[in-house]
Amino acid sequence: MILRGMGDLCWVIFKTVVDLFRPRAALEAEILVLRQQIVVLRRGKPGRPPFSAIDRMVLGWVCHLCPKARGALAIVQPDTVIRWHRAGFRLFWCWKSRGRRGHPGVPAAIRQLIREMSLANPLWGAPRIHGELLKLGIDVGQTSVAKYMACRRGPPSQGWKTFLRNHADGIAAMDLFVVPTVSFRLLYGLLVMAHGRRQILWIGVTAHPTAEWIANQLTAACGWKQVL
């Protein structure tokens, strides 16, 4: 028992000396994790410690913000805390996206009219049919018109694969994607890539994308030069 007590004392002294050289933020994170575990244990309920939603949120947020704080976990496994944070991340985005409603459906009579117009005028595309419908007072989107147009039989003169192969040197692809962070923020990335040699021309990241920002990114990516 004496040897075990001396070993524990030496370990405490060693950890104290190591903590003197650690960053302030890491120490504050470990202290917060320890205090939250003490709050759970003080509830005094027998059996498995009861973790409330607040406990899971605090432990998951701190351990993901400062991964080294996972070493201070004593009454719960680090994998469990990571699972709590992932579940909270899913619940947060489910709550944020609640109440969204889709576009109203197109009535059957208008869908039939679009089909008949496309069959009677094979040279008309979706923009032309959309314009004719607006003249008749029918407010429907152009994408809906393209969706309900009659499918014409026979392959077109040139497919997308052939078109891209013939004009790859003069085409650049652009994609605006979203990256969620640990703190539930969203970062928007813009990637511009030349098809000819699969060369990345530009990568930009911002938290507040605007039309002016995208225009500036495209100017910085290509400028007035020809894409090779």
The values of phi and psi at residue 204, to 5°, are -130, 145
Asked if residue 110 has pLDDT above 50, the reply is: yes
Phi/psi at 56 (5° precision)? -65, -40
pLDDT score recorded for residue 103: 64
Residue 119's contacts (CB-CB under 8 Å, 6 or more residues apart) are 150
| Low-confidence winner among 48-57, 112-121, 166-175, 207-216 (lowest mean pLDDT) | 48-57
Residue, of 183 and 76, whose pLDDT is higher:
183
Write down the mean pLDDT value for the chain.
Answer: 78
Residue 51 CB neighbour total at 10 angstroms: 18
For the cut 60, the answer to whether the pLDDT of residue 162 exceeds it is yes
CA 164 to chain CA centroid, Å, is: 29
Instruction: Record the tokens describing residue 8, joined without a space.
Output: 């524990």
Higher pLDDT, 135 or 37: 135
Residue in 105, 142, 109 with CA at minimum distance from that of residue 125: 142
**Cα–Cα distance for residue pair 148/187, rounded to 1 Å:** 36
What is the SS3 assignment for the chain?
Answer: CHHHHHHHHHHHHHHHHHHCCCCHHHHHHHHHHHHHHHHHHHCCCCCCCCCCHHHHHHHHHHHHHCHHHHHHCCCCCHHHHHHHHHHHHHHHHHHHCCCCCCCCCCCHHHHHHHHHHHHHCCCCCHHHHHHHHHHCCCCCCHHHHHHHCCCCCCCCCCCHHHHHHHCHHHCEEEEEEEEECCCCCEEEEEEEEECCCCEEEEEEEECCCCHHHHHHHHHHHCCCCCCC
What pLDDT does residue 224 have? Answer: 60
How many CB atoms lie under 10 A from the CB of residue 9? 10
pLDDT at 154: 60
- Where does residue 114 rank: exposed (0-12), middle (13-18), buried (19+ CB within 10 A)? buried
Most confident of 41-45, 149-153, 157-161, 203-207: 203-207
Q: CA 183 to CA 65: how far, in whole Å? A: 8
